[in-house]
């Protein structure tokens, strides 16, 4: 069986943590497609977030990891892509719950706010937790409907009605 491939992207603030995560993933026999920067030289995170989020959105990757200083910027840009459910996690519980309830397909981490051991615990929980489905599928269906409507000039309304954008 071929190793599952995970795409990983980072900016300068996530470089050091990325090195630890790549090593961890390889020990777990994951294939890693690294599209992040290879140094601590200042770069702009949206370029790297786009690479991973586009791969997940287009089905070229099933899961991705994004790391910047806080994880906030990466999560903001990644969630602009259809079908992406990027989750910024700062605890192991969050890593588990975002997979179980939200079927998160991109994990965002903060290289300057989360220590290596905690980040690896979060990653382990995120990798090993299966999506529960059931009642959670209702919310994911609403998210999908919202994405389709928001990307449509008619707009989206939470109760399912579309309204013209003024």
Helix, strand, coil shares of the chain as percentages rounded to 5?
Answer: 45, 15, 40
Helix (H) or strand (E) holding 52: helix 45-57
Residue 132: CB atoms within 10 Å = 14
Catalytic residue among 12, 33, 101, 136: 101
Burial of 115 (C-beta count, 10 Å sphere; 0-12/13-18/19+): exposed
Q: In degrees rounded to 5, what are phi and psi of residue 103?
A: 50, 45
- Active site annotation includes 101: yes
Q: In degrees rounded to 5, what are phi and psi of residue 163?
A: -130, 145
Residue whose C-alpha is closest to residue 62's, from 147, 2, 142, 135: 2
Instruction: List the catalytic residues.
Output: 101
């Amino acid at each position: 069986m071929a190793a599952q491939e995970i795409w990983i992207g980072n900016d300068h603030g996530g470089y050091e943590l990325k090195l630890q995560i790549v090593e961890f993933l390889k020990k777990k026999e994951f294939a890693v497609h690294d599209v992040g920067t290879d140094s601590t030289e200042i770069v702009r995170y949206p370029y790297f977030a786009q690479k991973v989020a586009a791969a997940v959105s287009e089905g070229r990757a099933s899961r991705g990891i994004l790391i910047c200083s806080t994880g906030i910027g990466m999560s903001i840009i990644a969630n602009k892509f259809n079908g992406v459910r990027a989750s910024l996690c700062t605890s192991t519980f969050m890593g588990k719950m975002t997979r179980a309830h939200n079927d998160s397909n991109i994990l965002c981490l903060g290289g300057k706010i989360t220590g290596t051991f905690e980040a690896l615990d979060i990653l382990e929980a995120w990798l090993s937790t299966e999506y529960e489905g059931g009642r959670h599928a209702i919310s994911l269906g609403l998210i999908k409907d919202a994405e389709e409507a928001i990307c449509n000039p008619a707009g989206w309304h939470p109760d399912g009605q579309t309204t013209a954008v003024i």
